[in-house]
């Protein structure tokens, strides 16, 4: 199949694996930032193919995993209001809030719709003008442009029964936070290819220089990931630290200018709390003042003081690469995809879910 | 002069069709009996008198709630017949009789009901099965588009019973064809995804292939049709039921390009996508080639091939999928539904 098979050819995989073995002389710890990369690494068993000294740790790039629990609670609160239709992506419906999840609310009678694209939300809002339609929007730079477009469209077409609960996050500030942590072990980054398709990687040079760390913008197929690892190890072994672009069939240094313009038009950068990690400065996107009439958090304000968030889940440590899923005492026995304690066990991009799905228990 | 009392629209199902009175009889006499006609049904009795050998009976039931009810490659009626016939076939039984219960929503189009019944008739006739008893209930309107069908089937087995406990170390695991068609066809129709290559359900009755295998003396240890949960879930269920370790080869598992493409776009694993016309069989490796050549004589079996082998007893039972890079992963049961990726 075009664009897939070329990047999964066994003989090329073997060749790259051999090259990685040849250049590796020391132990290195590399973080793949995106949950899609984690999923591919675990699904294709890529870690098994690498030299023992190479340790891959899984980053915070799963939009479902990092959405803080108060957003889930807020979405649940809105879904419980009469005359509302709450729309979100499938995985968000399964993430546990403080007391329940959206799927349970749906079963109890709330009108909650699983959507595939922001255009679904616009259509629903136009089909039900008498209802309040709320888009629980999550994701990184990848989903932000299309979600921004939905709000831009709602404004220009006067679709005033639509609003957005914006839980968007930005990747680079999270990578920076990880590097600032005194006990981090990250020696190289595989940056998220699809995020960089939108954002470009101009700003990654500062990160790489400031923390003297190689950053390789990397794709998602086995050959992409192995080549990303190769390019990263090559730099580490030669004491280099620069930004290189493995995923050049999709990513340009300046990114997708139209998408960036749309994000800038609709969203403003704000401090944002990340699930399990805490507040990261300038790491979120909220609606700009001129679009605040579409802000569901303002339209349906909620008192956060009643909620409780502790349940033993170590997702914060997992999202920072400090622990692996099977280091968690809940993993696989108390916490399973059927009964998740935390979001990383819910989403297919979550490290815990990927481990549960594809790996034998420790 | 027109009667001032409005009459129920004859083109839709009303609550009166489920009342057990005049309109119910009308529905039975005008829709079901002409389609499913046989002596038992013609008696218009509360049950059917069947003539069966007493110690070889196989019995199975299934309910069908698929949405949309019409999809590329079939409809809920065809599915309701093939689904239960396939369950009987997987026990090595020749299906003989079906019962059929309809739960229909008020407002459902009678023409759609007739289309569904015609599909059931066609599929039953093709496989020499009689629909001998049934029931109809009508529930209050939600959106006027729902119909649920339960079918229960009785069959007679050909020879010795076939079941998971008979799976043996060394058995070849053969799949009858490419996977994931039904789930992706239904999903693309449900969500109105327009992929450039058509996705058509594999919905089909598997009994003719199974009959051919058994009549040609293939010693089958176990059969399982792949339905919800896909190939992976079926294999895990069988590994657990037999306490065996299965080793599968990922690159041997046939997946058509349209299904692969749709799965890649949505972030689905075809191993967990539903099928309605595919099965796995476990049999001695020496018979594998012959079994495959029999399967390949049928349209549904054209892609039949060995996809793995039973290794040994194991605790816990495992299904390990080896990929072409030399690494492997464990298969698990499907949890909930596969959901489209966010980005």
Model confidence pLDDT, tens digit, residues B95-105: 999 999 999 99
* For residues A230-243, average pLDDT: 98
B190 close contact with A: CB closer than 8 A: no
For A198-266, list the strands marked E by DSSP.
215-218, 243-245
What percentage of chain A exceeds 90 in pLDDT?
74
Chain A CB contacts of B270 under 8 Å are none
**Is residue B316 within 8 angstroms of chain A, CB to CB?**
no
List of chain A residues whose C-beta atoms are within 8 Å of the C-beta of residue B330: 358-360
Q: For residue A307, what pLDDT is reported?
A: 58
Q: Which chain A residues are closer than 8 Å to B323 by Cβ? A: 44-45
pLDDT at A251 over 70: yes
Average confidence (pLDDT) over A81-98? 91
Which of B191, B324, B329 faces A116 most closely, judged by CB atoms?
A: B191
The span from the CA of B49 to the CA of B40, in Å, is 7
CB nearest to A94's CB, from B260, B324, B336: B336
How is residue B237 annotated by DSSP? H
Residue of B nearest to A11 (CA): B325
Burial B96-107 (b: 16+ CB within 10 A, else e): bbbbbbbbbbbb
Q: Do B327 and A94 touch (CB under 8 A)?
A: no
What pLDDT is stored for residue A309 in this prediction?
57
Q: Are B205 and B81 in contact (CB under 8 A)?
A: yes
Which DSSP letter does residue B336 get? S
CB contact under 8 Å between B335 and A337, yes or no, is yes
For residue B323, give the nearest of A44, A337, A338 by CB distance.
Answer: A44
Flag if A138 and B260 touch (Cβ within 8 Å): no
- Work out the average pLDDT over A354-360: 77
Which residues of chain A does B335 touch, with a Cβ-Cβ cutoff of 8 Å? Answer: 336-338
Cβ proximity of A26 and B286 under 8 Å: no
Q: Least CB-CB distance to A359: which of B329, B339, B340?
A: B329
Q: Does B260 touch chain A (CB under 8 A)?
A: yes
Q: What is the mean pLDDT of residues A234-249?
A: 97
**C-alpha distance from A122 to closest chain B C-alpha (Å):** 15
Whether B58 has a pLDDT exceeding 90, the answer reads yes
Pairwise CB contact (< 8 Å): B342 & A45? no
Q: How far apart are CA A208 and CA B194, in angstroms?
A: 43
ipTM rounded to 2 decimals: 0.83
- Cβ separation A4–B342 shorter than 8 A: no
Looking at the predicted structure, is the pLDDT value of residue A362 above 80?
A: no
Inter-chain contact A44–B327, Cβ cutoff 8 Å? yes
Backbone angles phi, psi at B187, to 5 degrees: -65, -40
Are A338 and B335 spatial neighbours (Cβ–Cβ below 8 Å)?
yes
List, for residues A92-149, the tens digit of each pLDDT value: 998 888 888 999 999 999 999 999 899 999 999 999 999 999 999 999 999 999 999 9
Q: Is B194 on the interface with A (CB under 8 A)?
A: no
Q: Do B329 and A45 touch (CB under 8 A)?
A: yes
Pairing mode, strands B74-75 and B70-71: antiparallel
Nearest CA in chain A to B258: A1
Q: Which of A348, A355, A359 to probe by mutation at the B interface, max B CB count within 10 Å? A: A348
Mean of the pLDDT values across residues A202-212? 97
What digits encode the pLDDT tens for the residues A141-182? 999 999 999 999 999 999 999 999 999 999 999 999 999 999
What is residue A293's predicted lDDT score, i.e. its pLDDT? 97
Q: Which of residues 262-281 of B touch A (CB under 8 A)?
A: 264, 267
Q: Tell me what the pLDDT averaged over chain B comes to.
A: 92
Q: Which of B328, B332, B342 sits opposite A63 (nearest CB)?
A: B342
CB within 8 A of B310, min separation 6: which ones?
B167, B168, B169, B170, B171, B173, B242, B244, B245, B246, B282
Q: What is the CB-side half-sphere exposure of residue B52 using CA atoms within 13 A?
A: 19
Percentage of chain A beyond pLDDT 70 is 97
Residues of B in contact with A63 (CB under 8 A): 342-343
CB contact under 8 A, B340 and A358: no
Q: How far is B261 from chain A (nearest CA, A)?
A: 8
Nearest-Cα distance to chain B for A183, in Å, is 31
Chain A nearest CA to B184, separation (Å): 15
Mean pLDDT of B130-141: 94
Taking alpha carbons only, the member of A61, A320, A88 closest to residue A196 is: A61
């Amino acid at each position: 199949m075009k664009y897939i098979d070329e990047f999964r050819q066994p003989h090329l995989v073997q060749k790259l694996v051999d090259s990685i073995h040849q250049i590796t002389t020391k132990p290195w710890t590399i973080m793949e930032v995106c949950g899609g990369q984690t999923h591919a690494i675990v699904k294709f068993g890529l870690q098994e193919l690498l030299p023992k000294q190479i340790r891959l740790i899984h980053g915070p790039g799963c939009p479902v995993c990092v959405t803080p629990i108060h957003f889930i609670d807020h979405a649940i609160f809105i879904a419980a209001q009469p005359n509302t239709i709450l729309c979100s992506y499938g995985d968000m419906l399964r993430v546990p809030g403080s007391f329940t999840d959206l799927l349970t609310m749906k079963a109890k009678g709330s009108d909650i719709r699983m959507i595939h694209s922001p255009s679904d939300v616009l259509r629903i809002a136009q089909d039900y003008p008498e209802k309040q339609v709320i888009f629980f929007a999550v994701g990184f730079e990848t989903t932000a442009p299309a979600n921004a477009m939905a709000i831009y469209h709602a404004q220009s077409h006067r679709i005033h029964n639509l609003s957005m609960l914006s839980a968007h996050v930005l990747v680079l500030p999270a990578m920076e936070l990880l590097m600032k942590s005194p006990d981090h072990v990250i020696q190289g980054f595989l940056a998220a290819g699809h995020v960089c398709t939108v954002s470009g990687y101009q700003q990654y040079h500062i990160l790489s220089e400031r923390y003297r760390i190689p950053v390789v913008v990397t794709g998602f197929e086995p050959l992409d990931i192995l080549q990303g690892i190769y390019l990263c190890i090559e730099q580490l072994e030669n004491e280099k630290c620069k930004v290189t672009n493995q995923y050049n069939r999709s990513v340009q240094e300046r990114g997708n200018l139209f998408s960036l313009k749309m994000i800038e038009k609709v969203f403003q950068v704000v401090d944002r709390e990340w699930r399990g990690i805490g507040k990261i400065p300038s790491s979120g996107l909220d609606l700009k003042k001129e679009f605040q009439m579409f802000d569901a958090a303002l339209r349906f304000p909620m008192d956060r003081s009643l909620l409780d968030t502790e349940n033993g889940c170590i997702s914060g440590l997992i999202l920072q690469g400090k622990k692996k899923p099977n280091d968690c005492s809940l993993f696989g026995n108390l916490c399973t995809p059927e009964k998740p304690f935390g979001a990383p066990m819910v989403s297919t991009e979550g490290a815990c879910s990927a481990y549960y799905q594809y790996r034998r228990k420790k | 002069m027109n009667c001032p009392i409005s009459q129920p629209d004859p083109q839709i199902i009303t609550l009166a069709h489920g009342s057990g009175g005049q309109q119910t009889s009308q529905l039975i006499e005008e829709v079901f009996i002409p389609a499913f006609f046989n002596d038992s049904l013609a008696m218009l009795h509360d049950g059917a008198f069947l003539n069966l050998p007493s110690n070889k009976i196989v019995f199975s039931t299934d309910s069908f709630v698929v949405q949309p009810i019409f999809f590329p490659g079939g409809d809920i009626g065809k599915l309701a017949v093939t689904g239960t016939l396939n369950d009987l076939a997987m026990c090595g039984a020749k299906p003989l009789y079906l019962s059929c219960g309809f739960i229909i929503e008020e407002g459902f189009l009678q023409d759609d009901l007739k289309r569904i019944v015609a599909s059931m008739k066609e599929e039953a006739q093709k496989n020499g099965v009689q629909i001998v008893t049934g029931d109809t209930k009508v529930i209050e309107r939600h959106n006027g588009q729902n119909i649920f069908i339960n079918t229960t089937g009785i069959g007679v087995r050909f020879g010795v019973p076939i079941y998971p406990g008979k799976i043996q170390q060394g058995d070849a695991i053969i799949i009858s064809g490419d996977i994931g068609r039904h789930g992706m066809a239904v999903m693309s129709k449900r969500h109105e995804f327009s992929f450039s290559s058509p996705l058509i359900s594999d919905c089909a009755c598997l009994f003719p292939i199974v009959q051919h295998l058994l009549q040609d003396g293939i010693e089958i240890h176990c059969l399982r049709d792949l339905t919800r949960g896909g190939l992976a879930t079926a294999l895990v269920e069988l590994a657990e039921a037999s306490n065996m370790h299965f080793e599968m080869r990922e690159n041997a598992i046939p997946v058509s390009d349209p299904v692969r493409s749709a799965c890649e776009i949505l972030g689905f694993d075809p191993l967990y996508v539903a099928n309605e016309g595919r099965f796995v069989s476990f049999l001695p490796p020496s018979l594998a080639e012959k079994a495959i050549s029999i399967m390949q004589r049928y349209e549904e079996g054209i892609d039949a091939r060995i996809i793995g082998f039973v290794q040994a007893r194991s605790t816990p039972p495992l299904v390990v999928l080896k990929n072409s890079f030399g690494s492997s992963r464990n298969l698990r049961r499907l949890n909930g539904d596969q959901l489209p990726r966010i980005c």
